[in-house]
Chain A
Amino acid sequence: MAITREHDLHKRRSGRNIGLALTLIVFIALVFGLTIAKVSRGAALQAFDHSYRPSLDPDHVRFQQR
């Protein structure tokens, strides 16, 4: 036995709910795709992660280039 009873309202609104769900999925996919497209453009990125890395140190990079 189902723990919830389906009201007639749920049946009538199912098409609307499915349509809205699909719209939201498409929107999320688009924002995700846009993020990937924006981030993957340009040079490789490195972030500081609380430990010293010479490649992130401008003085070290300048020293290397001399």
Chain B
Amino acid sequence: MSDIRADMTLAEPGEARFGDFVALLKPRVMSLVIFTALVGLLVAPGQLHPIEALAAIIFIALGAGASGALNMWWDADIDRLMKRTLKRPIPAGKVSPQDAMAIGVALSGISVVMLWLATNALAGFLLAFTIFFYAVIYSMWLKRATPQNIVIGGAAGAFPPMIGWVAVTGSISLEACLMFMLIFMWTPPHFWALALFMKSDYHKARVPMLTVTHGRKATRNHILVYTVALVPFALAAGFTSIGGPIYLALALVLNAVFLQGAWAIWRRDEAQAEADNYATEKRVFKFSLAYLFLHFSAILLEKGLAQVPAYADFAAPLKILELF
């Protein structure tokens, strides 16, 4: 564990409203978790009872929220130093750190046990591991210890579609791994693009982001390398049971645009970036959000179209990795 703790006193908690406790669960992150877990659950071979599926999604989201609360509890000192996180419930003085920790621990237990009971033990175990990974490995250890924090910590955000898949099938397959890798490899370029135009914040909080420890040129190099490494995983999914012609065509376009954006970031220097107020970095960051959303939407669309026999026959020759 790192001993780098910003030296400051938190504001005294006031009267917390229900919305403050909801904010503690990071609802925007939860929305991405719900979406990707739902896609994993819907495209998996097999079927859950609708109530079981609803419960699975709710408890996966609740587990993500619990890890968000634990993250806010642990990071309260540095959240107060960054403009982006200053209004979170703990630094804003609305929820006490102790309450945040209690809610995080309680919801972690409830979500894991309930997901296990609603679906299967492996799904419950994966959710428990995800919470542990985000709260302990990422928040308590890597975030303040290494500039590779978000690379490894990104795994926590990559688990939801795999958990959704496992909730239905009870086992991990190539498709689940590719959905995991899609988010895992996407996370570094996504966050480093953000770090490039939010530089003063991370520096102020002494979080060892790559921009702070290795400089901005190295960050630009890393964005390009990770984007190149992301492409094979995104395209490979097109040749499995979750892919198909529409997914593959869309993935080709999206990856070409993402690569072009990463290339544009790599070619720029700080003087150019500051001259246009990091326009390229901001554009690539926004595009990266659409990139992930559209990939998972295409996976869902392929599942829907697979019910049409003519389309299924047309798509079948592409699925050469289906047997693995």
Secondary structure dominating the interface of B = helix
Q: Which of A10-38 contact B (CB under 8 A)?
A: 12-13, 15-16, 18-20, 30-31, 33-34, 36-38
Residues from chain A with Cβ under 8 Å of B50 in the complex: 37
The verdict on A5 contacting chain B, using a C-beta distance below 8 Å, is no
Q: Quick one: CB contact mask for B110-141 with A, threshold 8 Å, 1 for yes? A: 00001001100000000000000000000000
Complex Cα–Cα for A13 and B92 (A) = 18
- How many Å from the CB of B243 to the closest CB on chain A? 31
Complexed CA–CA distance, A57 and B310 (Å): 52
Tell whether, in the assembled complex, residue B49 and residue A16 are in contact, meaning their CB atoms are under 8 Å apart.
no
Contacts A37-B51, A37-B52, A41-B49 given: A16-B58 contact, CB under 8 Å? no
Interface size class of B (residues with CB under 8 A): 10 to 19
Main secondary structure of the interface of A (DSSP, over half): helix
Please tell me which one of the listed residues A16, A18, A19, A34 contacts residue B51 in the complex, with CB atoms under 8 A apart.
A34
Are A30 and B58 in contact (CB-based, < 8 A)? yes
8 A Cβ contacts from B36-90 to A: 49-52, 54-55, 58
Query: Smallest CB–CB gap between A22 and chain B, Å?
Result: 9
B16 within 8 A of A: yes
Determine whether the beta carbon of B15 is less than 8 Å from that of A34: no
How far does the alpha carbon of A15 sit from the alpha carbon of B21 in the complex, in Å?
Answer: 12
Would you call B51 and A12 a contact (CB within 8 A)? Answer: no
Chain A residues within 8 Å of B52, by CB = 34, 37-38
Task: Say yes or no: B54 contacts A30, CB within 8 Å.
Answer: yes
Write the residues of chain B forming the contact surface with A, with a CB cutoff of 8 angstroms: 15-19, 21, 49-52, 54-55, 58, 114, 117-118
